[in-house]
Copies of this chain bind each other. A is one copy, B any other.
Amino acid sequence: EKKHEIVYRPSLTWSEKAAADAEAVAAFSCSGHGRAYLDSLISDGHTVCECYTCYGGIDCSEFSPGCSADADSGDPIFLEPFWMQNAEDSAIVVSGWHRMSYSYADYTSMSTMSSEVEKYIRKLHSIVGNAITEDRYLVFGIGSSQLLSAAVYALSSQNSSSPSNVVATIPYYPMYEAQTLFFNSEDFEFEGDTTSWKLNNATDKMDVIEFVTSPNNPDGELKTSVLGGKTIYDHAYFWPHFTPIPAPSDHDFMIFTLSKLTGHAGARFGWAVIKDKDVYEKVSRYITVADLGISKDTQLRVLKLLKVAVESDGKQLFKFAYDKMRERWDRLTSVFSKSTRFSIQKRDPLHCNFFNETRLPSPAYAWVKCEREEEDDCRAVLKAGKIIGRSGSTYKAKDRYVRLSLIKSQDDFDLLMLRLTELVSLENGNIESI
């Protein structure tokens, strides 16, 4: 009879089974090197552990010794432990009949956006001090990805006979170009690098839309507009764990994403903060025409996560996230300080209004340069050292540069440190041997 616990608590009915299922699958340890989810594959009636890179076996306990460190993707798994620590406050139960309608009904208007989520986004920006949202419009999108494209549509001159010119400053996030090319609209054309474009054109007479990514992906730099005309500020990384926040951003069109704030890339949720009413209406129209708005299940989850994010005025989430990033940068700089063959971007201290102290930035990515003249394909050099990164040309920079992701799981980061240490330790030996 000791198997059962006698407890006093309010009786649950329809939700208890779902709760028990979720707790059962969460109890799978997968040796600490993988994860089981409610929707993981079932094999022979058993949930299957999904092992992290370089781990295998039925319980993810088997490490592959020769495995490469994968620092390719921007998967923000470094925040997973935070949400495990805050399991109770961040869980949601979605009933089978939760918000089946296309829209939220709140007496005055029909909208596909949750006004509670909107309220918490404004509250968060106010607490963090990274963006002005008073008297601005908000639009939700499927990640920031969808909003990048919506922004270009909204800012392009649809009644003009010549298409708007879209530019970004090298090194830039490749999605800007990929979307513009793929959608192949008559209203705009991708024209590449801002600085080259400025040299070759009389900018004051032309219709230009400039992407400003700040902090920049891949190199983490805080950027401002080169042309000073129509701009789209991609602020995906403008949070206190990646950069000091010197002042709230106050631009006409700013884009943020949950992915790099709370780490929930898989939820596909972003938002735009927009000053002009006409532009706001065009972006809203884009979202409606593209897919009639954002999943209501996702918005319910976003609300719960944002409620945790604003707890203790954001100190809890951002302290965890910043401590993690700073620790990773400390280890990273320690390894690179022993190298003359490889260098990483310089970081300059800035005052952070949120933490109220002067700090170094701790960007999401290391922007690595191969310093030896002959090593002009840095990705290949790192690959030979069992490190997978993204080559500079992905960002229209030279292949002498490689982006390494620092925001993946602890296992991924630890292996990256191991491989980098091995590589750097070889510098005084025979470089042909690696």
Contact = CB atoms under 8 A, between A and B. Distances in A.
Given A93-B93, A182-B286, A295-B267, A11 B15 contact: no
Q: Which of A11, A14, A293, A303 gathers the greatest number of chain B CB atoms within 10 Å?
A: A14
12 contacts: A13-B87, A37-B99, A38-B93, A73-B102, A90-B96, A93-B93, A94-B94, A100-B265, A103-B266, A141-B291, A266-B296, A269-B295
A132 interface: no
A425 interface: no
B296 A267 contact: yes
B41 A115 contact: yes
A78 to B, nearest CB: 10
Interface residues of A, number: 107
A398 interface: no
Contacts of A414: none
A141 B268 CA distance: 13
Interface stretch (A20-28, A191-199, A231-239, A389-397): A20-28
Given A83-B96, A90-B95, A94-B92, A298 B298 contact: yes
Interface in A91-123: 91-107, 114-117
Nearest to A156: B184
Contacts of A304: 96
A293 B308 contact: no
Interface string A262-304: 0111111100000000000000011001111111111111011
B16 A19 contact: yes
Contact of A83 (B93, B97, B303): B97
A142 interface: yes
Contacts of A14: 23, 26, 87-88, 91
B11 A5 contact: yes
A291 B142 contact: yes
B19 A93 contact: yes
Task: Summarize A's interface: helix, strand, loop or mixed.
Answer: mixed
Nearest to A74: B102
B90 A92 contact: no
Contact of A23 (B15, B97, B265, B267): B15
Given A289-B178, A297-B295, A41 B116 contact: yes
Interface of A: 4-23, 26, 37-42, 50-52, 73, 75-77, 79-80, 83-84, 86-107, 114-117, 141-143, 145-146, 149, 153, 158, 175, 178-179, 182-187, 263-269, 285-286, 289-301, 303-305, 308
Nearest to A101: B75
A100 B266 contact: yes
A114 B37 CA distance: 11
Given A16-B12, A77-B101, A100-B77, A291 B92 contact: no
Given A19-B16, A23-B14, A145 B102 contact: no
A116 B42 CA distance: 8
A89 B95 CA distance: 9
Contacts of A83: 95-97, 100
Contacts of A179: 289-290
Contacts of A106: 41, 50
A39 B303 contact: yes
The 3 closest A-B pairs by CB, nearest first: A90-B96, A83-B96, A142-B291
Q: Which of A14, A92, A97, A183 gathers the greatest number of chain B CB atoms within 10 Å?
A: A97
A183 B182 contact: no
Nearest to A182: B289
Contacts of A286: 182
Contacts of A268: 291-296
A71 to B, nearest CB: 15
Contacts of A40: 116
A87 B96 contact: yes
B145 A22 contact: no
Contacts of A142: 142, 290-292, 295
Contacts of A297: 266-267, 295, 297-298, 301
